[in-house]
Structure 1
């Protein structure tokens, strides 16, 4: 699926390029099965980096009934903390938004992993973060 399906038309005002990646939970790395549990958004023009997460515990436990739910939640909170900056970012506190985003999207073989990076245009990076969370992470009701 092309990224153009996720770009919303502008409603007056300037739009800026943004990048985003899904956060995936891979409870058993050797099996490769995953669920989407969050989204990272970076907009250089606005010096914005943000993360929103939502863990569907039932879906996680369907993949692995022994999954460490508390550990996964802690890892997702840590990602949100790095995005927020300040004391919650730990060692990344002094880094700019771009460095924090690049660090978070670096490939890793842990239970919480970033997906591929995609791009789009937005006038509201924070709103885009919420929209992508609804579209790509939360299950429709």
Structure 2
């Protein structure tokens, strides 16, 4: 195996790795802002590494020039698109995730499991007739 082939395999493996990291980030991160960050950073790097491997495979050819143009295009458009999406979300009033949200989510989950066990909701007060008189809905 020649050094160029080893470099091609390393670049392609790096591209697959960072593409996988981007996919996991989109699935596992809690809000739009962190997901946009994972997608823009990891996906850009993964695509660039993959296109670099493609450019090395084709050598000095028109396909290599096209791959280089794609790399430049992705370096410009991916971060710009992620910024535009995050800015639009901020303008719409979407709040970023905080640790307090995680604590509230754990409290809501424990209240929901408690209501499943007891058969009561625990969050809506009634006057005895089953009509809600207030509380959290």
Q: TM-score, normalised by structure 2?
A: 0.29
Structure number with higher strand proportion: 1
Structure number with higher helix proportion: 2
Q: TM-score, normalised by structure 1?
A: 0.28
Task: Report 1 or 2 for greater relative contact order, CA contacts < 8 Å, sequence distance ≥ 6.
Answer: 1
